[in-house]
A = this chain, B = another copy of it.
């Protein structure tokens, strides 16, 4: 069923010559399908078709776009086990995760369908005319949101469904009225093609303009051509800091710069007070061993940094955390390159002066399975060495033992921007929790109290995004219904007659 071709405005095409195959990380071998990278002409064609589609798609009522999104959800479900099998084959992730992530993808599509079924999401603003105002009359002004134009979406390695072809970026952009061109992640081009075919069916069934969706395969150059295409007006990306920053730089250098929403690296600091550790250290060790190894640590909200104050309970906690973590059965990573990156970054951090490896999984490992690691270091050493701040994408966490609260706050203040920060504390804690929260909130997009950062709820109050380098634009979220705001801009209509106003501004 899989053709290995690019999907250009509903047609599967491949005129290029560059080939690649995905990998089965469990077997550590290439999968059979040969994929063809998109040519520059194919990228251009997708861009022009998207622009043509934009002219009609932007005027299609929200209720029709909702039908389209729901139809995409239906067609994805109709793919049945074929999609789940392809997902597992290309990612090494287990069936439970495949089903769960598909469920999240469907939920997102249906949430955005519901959101745009009426026009409340536009946050319309009305200023009534004051014809008798002195010295000058005031005109009637009505403000609403309109879509930016075609959006380029880059699939995420760690979410082959929920943050890829029909994931959060695509669903929110289509909901907003923006055509989408997806650059498939080379690790799961097969999963992409199945989902793309589902979207194409939904386009046909609901009578959407053909160019509203395209999907192209390829490596770096294809991404560059896409972001540089004049008709692309915004970019969504989930991945590494290097990748996201490269796209941001490209977009900023265009003759017409365009916004890039790159959700990138994060070590998600967790502050544990000595009180919390001494009261429930064992429970915390279990909970955090689970969070650190969840999905083989391949989540952007993985807790890679634990900050606390040194002491006897802390010393015991660190040992217990290591024991619990390495007791968890290792799982396969997404790709040999990701495993390589995990080992080299982890090695880099643990080789820094003052870092001690408290525990490392020692059992046998299959080809792409990851050995979990718990390391520890003093606050003083951590403060001096920003190399310890780097994200180790995988089941890794470093516990920083500060000499006191002041050093802990100093470390928080010196951290790069983060997606999340977590505070584990007790009621009437000895530490100044208000001060910690004040520092922490200045570095992160979401603060969790007595919980874990993994698990990102899809809801309006979610903020997934934070100060750079957690994301390239901290003013927007990549998860939840508010993520639609990334793809729209305000427009005011002044003194407009009813007949020319959009329906949702007539009142």
Q: How far is the CB of A83 from chain B (nearest CB, A)?
A: 21
Q: Which residues of B contact A127 (CB under 8 A)?
A: 457, 459-462
Bitwise interface map of A from 470 to 504 toward B, beta carbon under 8 Å scored 1, else 0: 00111111000010010011111111110010000
- State whether B252 touches A500 (Cβ < 8 A): no
Q: Which residues of B have CB within 8 Å of A482?
A: 125, 143, 490
Alpha-carbon distance between A333 and B444 when the two chains are bound, in angstroms:
47
CB-CB under 8 A from A438, the residues of chain B are 59
A449 engages B497 (CB within 8 Å):
yes
- Residues of B within 8 Å of A475, CB to CB, are 259, 485, 488-490
Q: How many residues of A contact B (CB 8 A)?
A: 67
Q: Are A495 and B449 in contact (CB under 8 A)?
A: yes
Chain B residues whose C-beta falls within 8 Å of the C-beta of A491 in the assembled complex: 441, 444-447, 463
Q: How far is the CA of A139 from the CA of B455 in the complex (A)?
A: 10
**Distance between A227 CB and nearest chain B CB, rounded to angstroms:** 14
Interface centre among A253, A460, A489 (most CB of B within 10 A): A489
A449 near B142 (CB under 8 angstroms)? no
Contact of A449 among B58, B485, B496 (CB under 8 A): B496
Min CB gap A47→B, angstroms: 16
**B488 and A449 contacting across the interface, CB-CB below 8 Å:** no
Copies in the complex: 2
Chain A positions near chain B (C-beta within 8 angstroms):
58-59, 125-127, 136, 138-139, 141-143, 146, 148-149, 248-249, 252-253, 256-257, 259, 417, 427, 433-434, 437-438, 441-442, 444-451, 455, 457, 459-463, 465, 467-469, 472-477, 482, 485, 488-497, 500
Contact (Cβ within 8 A) A490 B447: no
Query: CA A463 – CA B495 in complex, angstroms?
Result: 14
Measured between beta carbons, the chain B residues less than 8 angstroms from A449 are: 493-497, 500
Question: Across the interface, do B457 and A139 meet the contact criterion of CB distance under 8 Å?
Answer: yes
**New A-B pairs, 17, CB < 8 Å, besides A141-B457, A449-B500, A475-B488:** A125-B460, A125-B461, A138-B459, A141-B461, A141-B462, A142-B461, A143-B461, A444-B491, A445-B489, A446-B493, A447-B491, A447-B494, A449-B495, A450-B495, A462-B492, A475-B489, A477-B490
